[in-house]
């Protein structure tokens, strides 16, 4: 089984800090520890982050929307697929050799069918009619191999396609009455019997006990296109073994196959496995290629996804099914949230304005050189989270880190900030829903659930059209996912002020209690308020607790 990856991931509606810190920490871990660390994202990237990634030439992390256990997290039995042309006997020997009860039949790595031990056992017990080998288009080479024999005359790659299988143990005068053209006849050592089969135009004769086959019979067989197979076994053994030479594609099941995809979640497949009770179920990859098989026992020791969380520690903000994952570390700069873990974890939480500042510190602590492109990402994240050092969350450590990172990345902070915020506040080709979820977080306090979104711009002109698009969208989103109140911050960075929009029952009352301002038509102005984390959310929580 390949080495398990550890995913480094931010919150569900990722901002620039969430994405850039995940990329940076993956670089740190891969350069300083054993293992495979991969940056991921739990949601769509906003325009600001997209601009930053493009500017510094870094690809966006892959999308990981759900960390529930999947089929690919199970210990898949890598039972190789076989071609449908192998014989029943070969299939039986393979299954015994590999200690498996199900054999997948594949062609060009695509699943064609399945055969089980039970199918083969049933075929041994069934009394087939004497045309089954022709119906199954059995190759002469396969017949010879099954009988441990050799082809004395004829094309080994030819097929027995017409006729019956007969036991030629009678006198020639009697055999003339029942051997028909194209039959396959199992015979002993008498030359006159062999000659009789030739005269009746048999397509194949099997000579048992390694008996001598006269040159005359061999010549007649060549002239009549009759295949002669010599076997060391007696007629009873040959009669018992010969049906095992038919190809398994004749016995395999091809309809209503129960298969799973590697991306299927284990919670979804449990019911199916319990309903059908097969020993093994084939697994296919995204392209439909056969991968292996799984059984119900594999569900017992499922490998949980390994996660490192950055820039959040709230369950409501985390990737879906976070409780099913194995959280190894949390690197954050927010208040302690509702996330619980099954075992102790490394938890680094610092009162700084940005997770990227902590990443800069970790590079220094581990004495790792910061790549130029990653320095650009981290500098951008600090500018974004601290609103270019104007947010009350900004600390001296944030400013110092940003200045050092700007030197490494060879960028000017003021110019980079202007470009970033312009990209982030652009409404070009954006739907109201996209604007709404660009930077939106969900919070739970006691039995109250509310959501807060935020858009930053360098001036009031860029914010004016956003308000018109947001108000109807806020009304539409309220009530979804248990959210009772919706708030949205339109933050003017240069003037250091926010217009706060609200919707929902008692949303205006909460604002009035928290900030002692009057809300009119679902809107109010909050001078000096620019930080959701350090100014808005603490004030809301204090007001809710007092209620």
Block residue for tokens 């390694």? 210
For residue 427, the model assigns a pLDDT of 62
Contact criterion met (CB below 8 Å) for 36 and 30: yes
Say what the pLDDT of residue 285 is.
93
Count CB neighbours of 346 within 10 A.
Answer: 10
Domain with CATH 3.90.1640.10 in the chain: 5-69+304-424
The residues facing 205 across adjacent strands are: 185, 228
Give the per-residue pLDDT at 235.
Answer: 92
CATH of region 72-123+250-299, choose from 3.30.930.10, 3.10.580.10, 3.40.640.10, 1.10.443.10 = 3.10.580.10
**Start and end residues for every CATH 3.10.580.10 domain found in the chain:** 72-123+250-299
Query: Could you give the C-alpha distances from 527 to 496, 535, 539, in angstroms and in order?
Result: 7, 11, 14
What one-character-per-residue DSSP string does 348-417 give? EE-SSS-HHHHHHHHHHHTTPPPPHHHHHHHHHHHHHHTTTTTSTT--HHHHHHHHHHHHHHT--HHHHH
**Per-residue confidence (pLDDT) for residue 335, from 0 to 100:** 84
Per-residue pLDDT, 311: 95
Domain 432-546 has CATH 3.10.310.20: yes
Nearest-angstrom CA–CA distance, 508 and 485:
9
pLDDT at 2: 60
pLDDT computed for residue 268 by the predictor: 86
Question: What CATH number matches the domain at 5-69+304-424, 1.20.1280.50, 3.30.530.20, 3.20.20.70, 3.90.1640.10?
Answer: 3.90.1640.10
The DSSP output letter for 247 is: B
- Tokens found for residue 100: 């498996």
Domain 137-245: homologous superfamily in CATH = HprK N-terminal domain-like (3.40.1390.20)
Read off the pTM: 0.66
Confidence at residue 127, expressed as pLDDT on a 0 to 100 scale: 55
Give residue 426's region: left, alpha or beta (phi > 0; psi -120 to 50): beta
Q: What is the CA radius of gyration of the chain?
A: 37
Mean pLDDT, each 10-residue run in order, the chain (547 residues) = 84 93 98 95 91 96 92 89 92 89 92 88 70 92 95 94 87 79 91 89 93 92 94 93 91 90 90 85 93 87 90 90 92 86 90 96 97 97 92 93 97 93 74 82 87 84 77 86 91 90 92 93 92 90 85
CA distances to 28, 229, 282, 385 from 39, in Å: 11, 63, 30, 20
Q: Are 84 and 105 in contact (CB under 8 A)?
A: yes
Longest dimension (CA), the chain: 117
């Amino acid at each position: 089984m390949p080495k398990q990856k550890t995913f480094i991931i931010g919150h569900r509606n990722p901002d620039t800090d969430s994405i850039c810190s995940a990329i940076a920490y993956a670089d740190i871990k891969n350069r300083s520890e054993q293992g495979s660390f991969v940056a991921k994202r739990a949601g769509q990237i906003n325009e600001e982050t997209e601009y930053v990634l493009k500017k510094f030439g870094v690809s966006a992390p892959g999308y990981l929307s759900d960390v529930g256990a999947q089929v690919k997290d199970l210990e898949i039995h890598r039972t190789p697929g076989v071609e449908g042309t192998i014989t029943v006997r070969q299939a039986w020997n393979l299954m015994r050799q590999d200690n498996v009860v199900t054999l997948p039949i594949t062609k060009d790595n695509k699943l064609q069918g399945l055969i089980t031990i039970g199918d083969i056992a049933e075929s041994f017990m069934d009394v087939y009619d004497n045309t089954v080998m022709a119906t199954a288009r059995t190759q002469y080479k396969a017949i010879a191999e099954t009988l441990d024999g050799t082809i004395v005359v004829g094309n080994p790659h030819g097929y027995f396609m017409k006729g019956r299988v007969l036991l030629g143990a009678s006198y020639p005068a009697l055999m003339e009455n029942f051997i028909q053209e194209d039959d396959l006849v199992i015979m002993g050592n008498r030359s006159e019997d062999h000659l009789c089969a030739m005269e009746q135009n048999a397509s194949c004769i099997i000579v048992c006990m390694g008996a001598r086959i006269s040159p005359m019979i061999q010549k007649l067989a060549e002239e009549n296109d009759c295949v002669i197979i010599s076997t060391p076994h007696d007629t009873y053994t040959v009669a018992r073994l010969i049906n095992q030479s038919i190809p398994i594609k004749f016995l395999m099941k091809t309809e209503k196959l129960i298969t799973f995809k590697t991306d299927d979640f284990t919670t979804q497949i449990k019911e199916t496995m319990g309903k059908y009770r097969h020993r093994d179920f084939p697994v296919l990859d995204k392209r439909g290629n056969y991968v292996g098989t799984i059984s119900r026992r594999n569900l017992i020791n499922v490998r949980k996804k390994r996660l490192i969380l950055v820039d959040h520690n709230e369950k409501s903000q985390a990737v879906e099914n976070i409780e099913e994952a194995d959280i190894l570390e949390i690197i954050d700069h927010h208040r302690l949230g509702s996330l619980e873990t099954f075992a102790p974890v490394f938890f680094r939480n610092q009162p700084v304005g940005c997770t990227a500042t902590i990443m800069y510190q970790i590079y220094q602590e581990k004495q790792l050189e910061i790549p130029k492109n990653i320095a650009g990402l981290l500098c951008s994240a600090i500018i974004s989270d601290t609103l270019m050092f104007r947010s009350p969350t900004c600390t001296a450590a944030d400013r110092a880190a940003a200045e050092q990172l700007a030197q490494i990345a060879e960028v000017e902070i003021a110019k980079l900030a202007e470009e970033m915020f312009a990209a982030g506040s652009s409404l070009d080709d954006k739907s109201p829903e996209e604007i709404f979820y660009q930077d939106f977080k969900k919070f739970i306090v006691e039995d109250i659930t509310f959501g807060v979104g935020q858009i930053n711009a360098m001036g009031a002109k860029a914010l004016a059209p956003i308000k018109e698009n947001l108000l109807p969208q806020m009304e539409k989103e309220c009530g979804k996912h248990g959210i009772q109140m919706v708030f949205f911050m339109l933050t003017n960075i240069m003037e250091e002020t926010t217009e706060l929009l609200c919707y929902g029952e008692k949303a205006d009352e909460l604002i009035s209690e928290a900030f002692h301002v009057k809300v009119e038509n679902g809107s109010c102005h909050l001078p000096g308020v620019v930080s959701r984390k350090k100014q808005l959310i603490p004030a809301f929580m204090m007001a809710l607790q007092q209620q």
